[in-house]
Amino acid sequence: MAELRDRMARDLALRNLAAGTQEAYLRCCCNFVRYHMKSPLKLGERDIKEYLHRLLLTGGSAEKLKMHVAGLKFLYGVTLNRPQVVARIPWPKVARKRPDILSGTEVERLLGAVTSLVPCVALMTAYGTGLRVSEVCRLKVEDIDGKRRLIHVRLGKGKKDRYVMLPERLYRALRGYWAKARPTGGLLFPGRKKGTHLHPTAVNKALAAAVQVTKLKKRVTTHTLRHSFATHLLELGTDIRIIQELLGHESIRTTQGYTHVGAGLVGRVTSPLDVLGTKQGAILR
């Protein structure tokens, strides 16, 4: 299996998929092999369905099932060149849940509850720019353009560069951070080991601790900050095409999944009930 795993890893790398996706596909396929204790070459459609059904019976979520289907379809369709084996394996339907969106006050409370300097500035960067936490952690000092008030995001998701704004408040925070931390090696947020950047796990842990301190009931992750960034821009009147560019989305439909009409906008909508019998309501006749 080691040789086959190496072949699949090579194929995944050649597709230039995100590192996290490559690791997840490999992990799913290894779990499949361990379950049957046989080479994938000796397994077929029935064995795949049995394994997937077992995942469901043991409490596997729809998202987990979908990841396994994707990994197995890649293994058989690409690495083994046996697409017929997985041709009839259905894609599980995943419910689209509307994510929790933080209010501006909640964001302030969260950031104020992060006591460690590096995670605090990293989280402020994530919310202030809409960057993914992985993109924040990989930032270099040279990516910060103080004069033009821009941040250069290099090789973001999809291996594409883009620019995002550098908010004045974040710029001041970064200057203060630089004066205290004096990061070396060119990385804005260096990790503990020389030559490595801050790991997203450290940022996630700091945020989780802040959520406990503030006693927020919402489900909050670093991606929640990205959702909140997009939604708050929409509430401030920013064109959705600009939000699309800032988030680094190829399709506007993806951006629409991140932006949700917040309670602030809903509360400012005039109900037709309030204009009945008025000049404004004359158009309803």
At 132-155, the pLDDT tens digits run: 999 999 999 999 999 999 999 987
pLDDT of residue 193: 87
Q: Are the C-beta atoms of residues 12 and 25 closer than 8 Å to each other?
A: yes
Q: Which residues pair with 162 in a beta bridge?
A: 153
Query: Which structural domain range is residue 247 located in?
Result: 104-265
Query: Which CATH number belongs to the domain containing residue 81 in this structure?
Result: 1.10.150.130
The residue annotated as part of the active site, out of 82, 109, 140, 223, is 223
The residue annotated as part of the active site, out of 68, 73, 132, 260, is 132
Indicate if 258 belongs to the active site.
Answer: yes
Residue 274 lies in a domain: no
Instruction: Specify whether 169 is located in the same domain as 62.
Output: no
Confirm whether pTM is higher than 0.85: no
Indicate if 157 belongs to the active site.
Answer: yes
pLDDT of residue 157: 67
Indicate if 249 belongs to the active site.
Answer: yes
Instruction: Specify whether 18 is located in the same domain as 156.
Output: no
pLDDT of residue 41: 92
Instruction: Specify whether 119 is located in the same domain as 77.
Output: no
Indicate if 226 belongs to the active site.
Answer: yes
pLDDT of residue 268: 63
Instruction: Specify whether 20 is located in the same domain as 108.
Output: no
Instruction: Specify whether 173 is located in the same domain as 72.
Output: no
Total number of domains in the chain? 2
* Alpha-helical regions (H) of 130-219: 133-137, 168-181, 200-214
Instruction: Specify whether 174 is located in the same domain as 143.
Output: yes
The residue annotated as part of the active site, out of 66, 140, 157, 199, is 157
Instruction: Specify whether 82 is located in the same domain as 110.
Output: no
pLDDT of residue 274: 66
Residue 125 lies in a domain: yes
Q: Angle at CA 277, nearest 5°, toward 274 and 283?
A: 90
Q: From residue 102, how far is each of 19, 106, 218 by CA, in Å? A: 29, 6, 8
Q: Are the C-beta atoms of residues 200 and 222 closer than 8 Å to each other?
A: yes
Instruction: Specify whether 258 is located in the same domain as 198.
Output: yes
Residues (pLDDT < 70) of the chain are 156-159, 258-271, 273-276, 281, 284-285
Record the tokens describing residue 283, joined without a space.
């158009």
Record the tokens describing residue 38, joined without a space.
């046989």
